[in-house]
Amino acid sequence: MLSGDYCKIRRDAEVHDVEFYKVFEETVEEVERKMVSMLKNREAKKLISEQIGEGPAVIEKEDVDSPIKFVTIKQGKARFFSRYNESPNGVYMVAFADGHLERIENQEKWVDGQVCLVKDLKTVLWSNRLGRPNDGTVSNNGQVAINDWLKLKQTLGGKFYVFDQSGKLLVEREFDSNLAACAISQDGNYAAASTAFPDNSIYLFDVKSGTLKWRFENLARKVALGLSFSKNNDVFVYTGKTVASQKYDYSLTLNGQLSEDSTREFEKLKQIREGMVEESLEPLIAFLSSSDSSKILKGLDAAQSLVYKKDRKFNYREIVPYLLQHVEGSDLEVSKLSIKLMLQIGKISPEWIESILPRVIEKCKKLLNTRFEGEYAIMTLGELGTLNANCAKEVMPLIIDRLEKSSVWNERRFAAFAVGQIGKLNPDLVRNAIPILARYLGKSDWWLPQVREAERETVDVGGIKISISIGGGPNPEVWVRDAALGALGDIGENNPEALKDTIPMIVSCLQRPEPYTRKKAIVALSQIAKKGRIYVESVFPTLEEIAQKDSDQKVRLEAQRVLESISPRAAELSVSNIPNLIASLSSEDKLARYRSLRELERMFYARPSLPEKYHHEALQIMNRSSSDLMRCIEKIEEELRVSQDEITRSLLLESLLMAKRTFLEFIVGEYVGNDSFKCRFCGKVYKASGIRNHLSKAHPEKWKLVRPYSDDILKHLEVKNLSGLSSEEWERQLLEKYEKISRKHN
């Protein structure tokens, strides 16, 4: 995937910890194919003057060396450019094109996608309109299975269809999760579909009866992005992080059971993960020495569990030859996972990895010279640099070179991340990078023009020369600046003196128009203040003003968090305000309650900002108010049961999530001091970070009642992620919409 969409997904995933599925992020060739595909589809939209109908047609396959195949169907003036798949016997072709929004004079109109069944590359047997047809497949007798992604709806779900040779509907099933893949057996008797999270399952349908035969919950942690049938109608399941990198995982019989081969394989993997060390090594080596990349990946995945659980008892040297072989191999996914495993081992035994460091660095150098793997290579170099000082000295020249000279702006950004990683542990090793990072806080005329020029390329689409910008994103200047702020904060946390000349530039970013940049500058200053309060004391008045007046709520909250952590007066005021915040939780004003919840979440969830003395006092206040906290949750749940308005429900779900994850410890535990809680159900004492894990394991029924991420909230978060907005912008729009409907009702 190219253009700003890819960059936005990457940024949102990092900032908001979001998982995305079916994102194309593979080799240069595959990315270029995607761009060509996108551009061709744009041109095709202009060519569809009327729907293709039954009858003779001119069928022209596109001569593109790609797993994704394209065809143009012509009937008189009608033109239909689409993707296609053919039946195993080559007699039938199903052609399908996604729907799209058409914009004419500021008016938006949805145009449904189209599906056609073609026989012998001569005749269109039928044509149909669906909202967003995708993943079409066809059997040897002309029966078509296809997924419909249901227009641009902002909720999860899709429809699965099977049509016969005449276009008659044989199977129709709607799902509450997004559809990931589908397939139909060669004889057309069975069809299968797979769903993404939260359902993450495989479904088999009996086509003759039109009924569901079975549902199988996916055994893999990755989505089943591909399905196929064997000649005896076993269902082959392919999983992966992306459609392009999916690999065979396991097979299912017609009865919905694991096949014998898959069962044996899963038993061996279980032995590796859970068996004794001496029993795990032989089957692990069998997987790692396989010529089948899918088996190697399974072995590497299982080896990670082994490293985590067995720790130093595991003899790493036994598998090193296989890891090195795979690091230097041609399968990129296998190579990456091998490097990841080596890094995990290196964190346990840093001295061990020094002997193989040159070979890992050499692989990273090769990846740096490819167009779309540079970011991964820089990230890997950064992780290597955190293992010990010797590793850091080896990788820093490569990282600094990319930080200052890369022609890809996102490589500069990842290089800043890497400098921050290393600088947080050993600031002296990154001193040469500090002036470069500081320059990114100012004007961008010294680097952005050359990057923009390098991004420009020309693509030939059907004889038309089209100039495109690859990976430009809406504002790379902002993203690189934010990464530089993060890196400087990490360095200053352990060596504030090294940044004394850079602090004025960090302070200048508090005036930037971008809320996230202001927030990053505040965080950087708070990191510097941990050991260098003297360097940031002059900024306190500015932070106090931001905490009161900044236009962005999250910036205000972050400024308040920092003030509490470094200013006793601010900490005292925050603690004294807690009873007022708790009192407002019972308010009928949902917006006021939401804002109180946001403030309490800031103080107690994830990373508390109060110094130890004040934090202890605050915990005691919350502990005494546990019944009020529980009543707040119950009140929100009751309001959700009766609320029909979509905006109000979104506000309530956000409120419920904040309340549950902020109040959970106080509801299920009694604060006993020293940041510890006594379980109200069994009396055992745990640190705040451990009582949730205890509750989920020892009291699962209680956990179901209070767990923050219920099914409704997960669905709500999926919808939120599908909006494409940053978390800050989504919240801003939600509050604005709710204020409008509240004014109408009042």
pLDDT in tens, 658-694: 999 999 999 999 999 888 999 999 999 998 878 888 8
CA nearest neighbour of 636 among 588, 574, 595: 588
- pLDDT of 47 reads 38
Highest mean pLDDT among 273-277, 285-289, 692-696: 285-289
Query: Which stretches does DSSP call E strand in 470-531?
Result: none
Provide the b/e sequence for 410-424 (b: ≥16 CB within 10 Å).
bbbbbbbbbbbbbbb
Can you name the residues that pair with 311 across neighbouring β-strands?
Answer: none
- pLDDT of 2 reads 29
Q: Which amino acid is at 72?
A: T
Question: Distances from the Cα of 181 to the Cαs of 71, 99, 169, 193, 228, in angstroms?
Answer: 21, 18, 19, 6, 9
Q: Is the pLDDT of residue 27 over 70?
A: no
The percentage of the chain sitting over the pLDDT mark of 70, rounded to a whole number, equals 87
Q: Please state, rounded to an integer, the average pLDDT across all residues of the chain.
A: 85
- pLDDT of 704 reads 84
Q: Which amino acid is at 267?
A: E
- pLDDT of 101 reads 78
Q: Which residues contact 577 (CB under 8 A, 6 or more apart)?
A: none
d(CA 535, CA 308) in angstroms, rounded, equals 41
What is the phi-psi region of residue 188: left when phi exceeds 0, alpha when psi lies from -120 to 50, beta otherwise? left
Residue 4 pLDDT level (bands cut at 50, 70, 90): very low
Query: Looking at per-residue confidence, does 263 or 276 come out higher?
Result: 263
Place of tokens 């293992």: 387
- According to CATH, where is 2.130.10.10 located in the chain? 86-258
Give the mean model confidence (pLDDT) for residues 16-24.
31
Q: Is the pLDDT of residue 33 over 80?
A: no
The domain at 86-258 falls in which architecture? 7 Propeller (2.130)
d(CA 84, CA 138) in angstroms, rounded, equals 10
Question: Distances from the Cα of 718 to the Cαs of 14, 21, 131, 541, 722, in angstroms?
Answer: 16, 12, 21, 40, 6
- pLDDT of 102 reads 79
CA nearest neighbour of 626 among 695, 561, 683, 706: 706
C-alpha of 197 from chain center: 12
Q: Which amino acid is at 700?
A: P
| Token pair recorded at residue 737 | 């919409």
Provide the b/e sequence for 649-687 (b: ≥16 CB within 10 Å).
ebbbbbbbbbbbbbbbbbbbbebeeeebbbbbeeeebbe
pLDDT in tens, 40-95: 444 444 334 357 889 999 999 887 666 678 999 999 888 899 999 999 999 999 99
Cβ burial of 712 (10 Å; 0-12, 13-18, 19+) is middle
* Ranges 23-27, 154-158, 190-194, 578-582: which has the least confidence: 23-27
